[in-house]
Amino acid sequence: MQISAAGNPRRGDRRRSAGFTLLELLVVVAIVAMASAGVGFAMRDTSMVQLERDGERLAALLESARARSRVSGLPVRWRATAQGFRFEGLTPSGPPDSDLPEQWLDPDTGVADTVNSTVMKVLLLGPEPILEPQEVVLISRRQPSKTVRLATDGVRPFAVQPLVP
């Protein structure tokens, strides 16, 4: 009868200890999956991220102008321009630099026009609490297939929504 030293497996036990257990393999697969998901999020399309950021910012600006219109009782219009956008009907309530901005964060952002890029989109923002349903579609000028839609049903605030073909 052969006796092994403490900590040394016997000759017949070597076959069972060679290889990985199912739990170890599952842990490795889970780690690889999380790492590849992190890489996928890190390599997200930057033009779409910029467009979504401009869309969220515009939604906040539209709601701010809508609130200011309801408080003042004056109609406010948002109009797209060749270089950005403009709010018409707002009176500055403070210093000139406290008024709403008129430029996109990304110069590549634009508004989808309906006819020959000469018709500019106009949104009516108030002063009535309930408006007609309105929408505006933002596009990337370098990649026209990238679009973001901002819409309201007239009661709810403007929000970025998926563009339905």
Say what the pLDDT of residue 16 is.
Answer: 58
pLDDT higher at 135 or 95: 135
Arithmetic mean of pLDDT, 5-11: 60
- CATH of 46-161 given 3.40.50.620, 3.55.40.10, 1.10.10.10, 1.20.950.20: 3.55.40.10
Say what the pLDDT of residue 141 is.
Answer: 87
Q: Domain ranges in the chain? A: 46-161
Question: Do residues 154 and 133 make contact, with C-beta atoms less than 8 angstroms apart?
Answer: yes
Distance CA 158, CA 123 (A): 11
pTM of the model: 0.67
DSSP H or E run through 148: strand 147-152
